[in-house]
Amino acid sequence: MVPACTTVLLLSSIASCTSQDSGPPLVVQRDSAGIEIIEALRPLWGDSSLWRIDPEPLVDLALSGSGPAHEFFRVRGLKQRPAGSLVVVNRGSQRIRLYSPEGEFLGESGGQGEGPGEFSNLWRMELVADTVLALDVGGRVTVVGPDAELVRTFELPYQLFELHYLGDRTLLAESNVGAELEEAGVQLMRSRMALVRFDLEGAWIDSLGIRPGDESFELASEDDYISGPALFGKDSQVATLGPRIFYGSSDLMQVEELHPAGNLARILRVPDYPLGLTGEQFDAERQAMYDATFPRGTPVPARFRRFMEAQSAPATRPAFDNMLVDASGAVWLELYRGLSEQDRPREWLILDEDGIWLGTVEVPKRFTVWDITMDAVLGVWRDELDVEHPQVLRLIRDGG
Q: What is the 3-state secondary structure (H, E, C) of the chain?
A: CCCCCCCCECCHHHHHHHCCCCCCCCEEEEEECCEEEEEECCCCCCCCCCEEECCCCCEECCCCCCCHHHCCCCEEEEEECCCCCEEEEECCCCEEEEECCCCCEEEEEECECCCCCCECCEEEEEEECCEEEEEECCCEEEEECCCCCEEEEEECCCCEEEEEECCCCEEEEEEEECCCCCCCEEEEEEEEEEEEEEECCCCEEEEEEEEEEEEEEEEEECCEEEEEECCCCCCEEEEEECCEEEEEECCCCEEEEECCCCCEEEEEECCCCCCECCHHHHHHHHHHHHHHHCCCCCCCCHHHHHHHHCCCCCCECCCEEEEEECCCCCEEEEECCCHHHCCCCEEEEEECCCCCEEEEEEECCCEEEEEECCCEEEEEEECCCCCEEEEEEEEEECCC
Residue-level pLDDT at 179: 54
Intervals of the chain under pLDDT 70: 1-22, 158, 178-185, 400
Residue-level pLDDT at 341: 96
Domain count, the chain: 2
Say whether both 282 and 272 belong to one domain.
Answer: no
Residue-level pLDDT at 19: 38
Residue-level pLDDT at 160: 82
Say whether both 285 and 353 belong to one domain.
Answer: no
Residue-level pLDDT at 33: 84
CATH code of the domain covering residue 228:
2.120.10.30
Residue-level pLDDT at 95: 97
Say whether both 328 and 283 belong to one domain.
Answer: no
Say whether both 309 and 163 belong to one domain.
Answer: no
Residue-level pLDDT at 244: 96
Residue-level pLDDT at 14: 38
Which burial class, exposed, middle or buried, applies to 383 when counting CB atoms under 10 A from its CB (0-12, 13-18, 19+)? Answer: exposed
Q: How far apart are CA 100 and CA 272, in angstroms?
A: 45
pLDDT tens digits, one per residue of 345-379: 999 999 999 999 999 999 999 999 999 999 999 99
Q: Which residues form the domain of 303?
A: 278-313
Say whether both 119 and 151 belong to one domain.
Answer: yes
Say whether both 99 and 178 belong to one domain.
Answer: yes
Say whether both 160 and 294 belong to one domain.
Answer: no
Say whether both 236 and 365 belong to one domain.
Answer: yes
Say whether both 152 and 219 belong to one domain.
Answer: yes
Say whether both 269 and 291 belong to one domain.
Answer: no
In a domain, 388, yes or no: yes
Say whether both 108 and 65 belong to one domain.
Answer: yes
Residue-level pLDDT at 175: 87
Say whether both 292 and 339 belong to one domain.
Answer: no
